[in-house]
Homo-oligomer: A and B are copies of this chain.
Amino acid sequence: MTIKAAILGFGTVGQGIYQILQTKSSQLHKLLGDEVEVTSVLVHNIHKERFLPEDVYVTDRFDDVLNHNPDVIFEATVGVEPSYSYLKQAIDQHIHVVTANKVMFAAYGHELIKRAGQGTGVGYEATTAAGIPIIGTLTTLLQTNNITKVQGILNGTSNYILTAMQEQNKSFSEALQEAQTKGYAEADPTNDIEGHDAFYKLMILSQLLYEKQPEWSEVPLTGISNLTESDLKSAKDKGEKIRHVATLELVDGELKGTVKPLSLPPTHGLFGIEEVDNAINVTGDLVGSITLRGPGAGQLPTASAMIEDFVQIWQTAPIKQFI
């Protein structure tokens, strides 16, 4: 048997998935027991040249993807729709899905997981801090621990800007421009610097840990664009660093979320996180404080998280179907 894979969206991440499936084909064969073959790719514009082999069906219709009977769909598009509708359909046909779409998953991830039940896998490691295996750590490796608090630097762009402002004394606009030149920030950087991107990831962590989320409108988002020189100076004078931190905490049984700049002392697990790195600090009632750090974005880290997700889904799916 061959494992048939489809890829939705053939931008940076979609191409990364395709590339890893090729370069790691023999290793994946060993891990999965079967070869993986990409049978279809969903794109916006089917006329664009893509250098894919002829046996990969390139289409702009999701029905065509389903007609190729994929065993797994790797979803690398942006925005809630049509992603959510596509993945619902796929799950209803017992196709495993692996997504990197944080905006969709923050809103509808729990619906997809409920819909999938036991036998169908829903992988979403790549939605939150890309290559850092925080989702797997929380779902698989820390099941007995109750996590009482999560704090993360969940957006590489704003961390890059803050690093440049504090380490190289750049102004906010200089640092932003540098981030844009290097491809770390988009032309419209609002999502990253005002905390929306970090917010979605925090909501995904909230759903995973507590099976609920705070009211979205009650999570205050404070960006980094209004930080003043004196804010930075007063942090520096105390030996601290300002970082853009997303926090989720159980306070008297109630979930409280915030995304805002915080001045962190050197003892804080997120103090030394520089440049475009992301990091997540979780506090478990048994294990104490654990921090995971790594690349929070990028083609290969994101695609890597999606492939690793699928490996785990495929390895555990047989048992999940029968328990």
Contacts and interface: CB of A to CB of B under 8 A. Distances in A.
A304 B286 CA distance: 6
Given A140-B136, A293-B269, A288 B300 contact: yes
A79 interface: no
Contacts of A292: 290-293
Interface in A266-314: 266-267, 269, 271-272, 274-275, 284, 286-295, 298, 300-301, 303-305, 307-308, 311-312
A295 B288 contact: yes
Contacts of A78: none
A133 interface: yes
Interface in A101-157: 131-133, 136-137, 140-146
A318 interface: yes
Contacts of A312: 140-141, 143
Nearest to A289: B294
A174 B319 CA distance: 55
Interface residues of A, number: 50
Contacts of A140: 136, 140-141, 312
How many copies of this chain are found per oligomer? Answer: 2
Nearest to A275: B267
A145 B308 contact: yes
Nearest to A302: B287
A323 interface: yes
Contacts of A294: 287-291
A316 interface: yes
Contacts of A289: 294-295
A308 B143 contact: yes
Given A137-B137, A290-B133, A31 B304 contact: no
A143 B311 contact: yes
Nearest to A130: B287
A142 B308 contact: yes
A24 interface: yes
A316 B132 CA distance: 23
Given A266-B274, A267-B274, A312-B140, A145 B304 contact: yes
A145 B304 CA distance: 8
Interface in A183-211: none
B269 A287 contact: no
11 contacts: A28-B144, A31-B144, A131-B284, A141-B141, A141-B308, A143-B308, A143-B312, A144-B307, A144-B308, A288-B298, A290-B294
